Amino acid sequence: MPRNPELFELTAGLAMAQLYEKFPIPKDIDFRALYAEVSDRFPDASMSDYIKIYLVIRHTFEWLQKEDFIRYESIGENAARNLQLTEKGLRALKAVPKELDAQRQSLAEFLVESAKEGAKEALMKGVGWLLAASAS
C-alpha cells in the first residue's frame, strides 16, 4: 500500500518535470493521465489505494501552489489549468544538489530524465532535494 509521502513525492516529481520542460509556456495537467502514471508504479495497489492516489494527486498541486513552487489558473476535479513554475520553483529546479555534482546535472535535468525512465525512487529522491534546495 503506497504511503501518502511516497505518492506526494512521485506526483510532485512528475509534475515539476513536465512544467520544467514546457517553461515558460503554461501547461494543463490532466489528473487522469497523471493518475495512470502514478498508479502504474504501484502494481499491488488495492481499490481503496486508487482512491487515495487520486486524492493525493489533487492535493499535491494545491500544496505546491500554496508553497509557491507553481501557479495555476484553476484546479478542478480532473485537471489543473494553465500551470506554470514560479521563480521559486524554477530556482529550486536549477539547483545542483551535491549528490548530482559529479554528473554536473541540475535537479531539473535529473527529474526530467527520471520521469522519462520511469524511475520511481529517483523521482522521490529528487523531490527531497527540491524541497531542500528551496529551503536554502
**What is residue 136's predicted lDDT score, i.e. its pLDDT?**
67
Report which DSSP code applies to 99.
G
Is 117 or 29 the better-scoring residue by pLDDT? Answer: 29
Angle at 113 between CA 71 and CA 25, to 5 degrees: 30
Distances (CA, A) of 59 to 4, 77, 129: 11, 11, 20
The predicted-structure confidence for 65-91, as pLDDT tens digits, reads as follows: 999 999 999 998 889 999 999 999 999
The predicted-structure confidence for 17-36, as pLDDT tens digits, reads as follows: 999 999 999 999 999 999 98
Please provide the average confidence, as pLDDT, over all residues in the chain: 90
- Write down the pTM of the prediction: 0.90
Please give the share of the chain, as a percent, with pLDDT higher than 90: 59
Give, for 29, the enclosing helix (H) or strand (E): strand 27-30
> Could you please report the per-residue DSSP string of 40-94?
HT-TT--HHHHHHHHHHHHHHHHHHHHTTSEE-SEE-SSEEEEEEE-HHHHHHHH
Could you confirm whether domain 4-135 is CATH 1.10.10? Answer: yes
Read off the pLDDT band of 56 (50, 70, 90): very high
**What is residue 51's predicted lDDT score, i.e. its pLDDT?**
86
pLDDT at residue 98 above 90? no
Phi, psi angles (nearest 5°) of residue 107: -60, -40
Please give the share of the chain, as a percent, with pLDDT higher than 70: 99
Give, for 131, the enclosing helix (H) or strand (E): helix 120-135
Set of cell numbers at residue 123: 523521482
Is 42 or 29 the better-scoring residue by pLDDT? Answer: 29
8 A C-beta contact, residue 61 and residue 72: yes
Query: What does the domain layout of the chain look like in residue ranges?
Result: 4-135
